[in-house]
Structures are given as C-alpha cells and as structure tokens.
Structure 1
C-alpha cells in the first residue's frame, strides 16, 4: 500500500503549530486531566500526519491540500 501525499505545505505548518501549541498548554498545566490527554493525543496525530505528509481522514473523504496531483 503506497501512501500518496495529500497534505500540503500550509496544512503541514498549521498542523505543526497547533501540535506545538497543545503541547505547550499541557506542559504549562493550562490543560490537564482527560481533556489534556485527549488534546495531547490529537497533537501527536497532527504531528505525525504533518511529518509523513499523509492524512488518512483526507484519503477517506477524498480531500487533498497538495498543489500537485499525487496520482502522477
């Protein structure tokens, strides 16, 4: 199974910034408990998808934020 890129540069930057923001909020105890754990898991998912340039949810709904056609 080949993972075609479907996350563009701007999308990757936003995902990374949101993940860093959530991590900082958790580290400085602004968010904690169950909410903190859920948001931290979300931050990890956002960071991983930005690093591999692939979002499974985008694949399911047929969305692509890349400027090029990943099929070519």
Structure 2
C-alpha cells in the first residue's frame, strides 16, 4: 500500500481518535453514536499507523511531502 498521509495528518487523526475514545470511555456519548464513533476512531488509528488512507487513494489526494531532489 502506497503511503499518502503526511506526518501532520497522521497526528491530527490520532488526536481526534483519542478524543473520541475519551468521550465514549467516560460515557459522555452512548448508544449507537458511541459505536459509530468507536469504529471511526479505530479507522483513524489504523490509517494513521499504516500512513495510507483508502479514500485519499480513491480521490488522488496525498498529504505526504514530496521527496524529489532539486538538482
């Protein structure tokens, strides 16, 4: 799988996932919404771990920095 997520994007996703899980863990959000938030948080953590987002690939988006040399 080709990496298409930059460092900043990955950090933001992890922070959002942790915040969402905090709300679910502390029962601020419950029921079906809590289940949906947990699933989204898991997807955010997984995509951050592998540095690749399937939706980014689908739409041709990449937040990775270009590693081309300027010679």
- What is the TM-score of this pair, normalised by structure 1? 0.90
Match of 1:33 in 2: 31
C-alpha separation in 2, matches of 1:59 and 1:15: 17
Alpha-carbon RMSD across the aligned residues, in angstroms, is: 0.8
- Flag the structure with larger Rg: 2
C-alpha separation in 2, matches of 1:62 and 1:6: 9
C-alpha separation in 2, matches of 1:13 and 1:46: 10
Structure 1 moving runs of 4+ over 4 Å: none
Match of 2:61 in 1: 63
Counterpart among 46, 49, 56 of residue 48 in structure 1 = 46
Unaligned segments of structure 1, at least 5 residues: none
Match of 2:14 in 1: 16
- What is the TM-score of this pair, normalised by structure 2? 0.92
Aligned length: 67
Aligned partner of residue 43 in structure 1, secondary structure: helix
Unaligned segments of structure 2, at least 5 residues: none
